[in-house]
Amino acid sequence: MDALIDLLPELWTATYETLYIVAMTLFFGGLGGLLVGLGLYLTRAGSILENKPLFFVLNLLVNFIRPIPFIIFLAAAQPLARAVTGSGIGNNAIIFTIALAASFAMARIVEQNLLTVTPGVIDAARSVGAGPIRIIFTVLLPEALGPLILGYTFIFVALVDMSAVAGYVGGGGLGNFALLYGYRQFNPIVTWAAVLLIIVLVQFVQFFGNYLARKALRR
């Protein structure tokens, strides 16, 4: 317990780092997932921008990247992270890698949520002369907003999960904190402090996500 009190400044720093990594990856990964998910949805057979080759490539890419365990993906994508962020280690490298992995995971969720929009409302929009871009912003995204918010809440938890291994490539955060000061120094109390903080964080975000989704669905 005394050890934990001594480590409090490090704990707060780690919490801040986790929040930072998760926020950044939620933004970039979320955006990437939205784009790839929209791409999957729009290019599939029978959709408004049907494009079989593009759909095939996107679909293959998503299926290819999604099943790779993240810690392996982290190692495999390190050269790419180095090329893009200038360094293969540290918080920026981990943010890049998580955002990349999350894009493809999120893409599936976005695609599935968009598929719940009744094709009829897209017909209705087309019948009054709306083009694809307008349909995306005035029909698809607003109509699927509730499920999309829940999808992003779901991916948030996955981001917290992925961020925990940041310590392996010299990043920070609560995962690194638990490993470094709890696990390696045989101090379960320190580990559990990190666990507790993560539970609180996830609960809070889940609650907030549910609230927003309820508002969007007006239920």
Partner 1 sequence: MALVSLRNVSKVYPPASKGAPSVTAIDSVSLDVEAGDIYGIIGYSGAGKSTLVRLVNALEHSTSGEIIVDGQNIAVLPERDLRKVRLGIGMIFQQFNLLGSRTVARNVAYPLEVAGRPKHERAARVAELLDFVGLSDKAGSFPDQLSGGQKQRVGIARALATQPSILLADEATSALDPETTHEVLALLKRVNAEFGITIIVITHEMDVIQTIATKVAVMDQGRVIERGPVFDVFSNPQAAASARFVSTVVKGIPSPAELAVLRERHTGRIVTLAFRDSAVDQKAVFGEFSRAGVAFEVVYGGINEIQGRPFGHLTLALTGADPVIDQVLAHIRTLTTVTEVR
Enumerate binding residues for partner 1 (CB under 8 A): 118, 120-121, 123-131, 134, 138-139, 142-143, 145, 216, 218
Of 124 and 189, nearer to partner 1 (C-beta) is 124
Q: Label each residue of 132-168 as H, E or C.
A: HHHHHHHHHHHHCHHHHHHHHHHHHHHHHHHHHHHHH
The three-state secondary structure class of 218 is coil
Of 2 and 219, nearer to partner 1 (C-beta) is 219
Rounded to a whole number of angstroms, the minimum distance from the CB of residue 56 to partner 1 is 17
The three-state secondary structure class of 114 is helix
Of 60 and 124, nearer to partner 1 (C-beta) is 124
Rounded to a whole number of angstroms, the minimum distance from the CB of residue 144 to partner 1 is 9
Rounded to a whole number of angstroms, the minimum distance from the CB of residue 185 to partner 1 is 52
CA–CA gap between residue 74 and residue 163 (Å, rounded): 11
Of 79 and 119, nearer to partner 1 (C-beta) is 119
For residue 168, the one-letter residue type is: Y
Task: Name every residue whose Cβ is closer than 8 Å to that of residue 31 and which is 6 or more positions away in sequence.
Answer: none
Of 138 and 203, nearer to partner 1 (C-beta) is 138
Rounded to a whole number of angstroms, the minimum distance from the CB of residue 34 to partner 1 is 17
Rounded to a whole number of angstroms, the minimum distance from the CB of residue 54 to partner 1 is 18
CA–CA gap between residue 101 and residue 76 (Å, rounded): 12
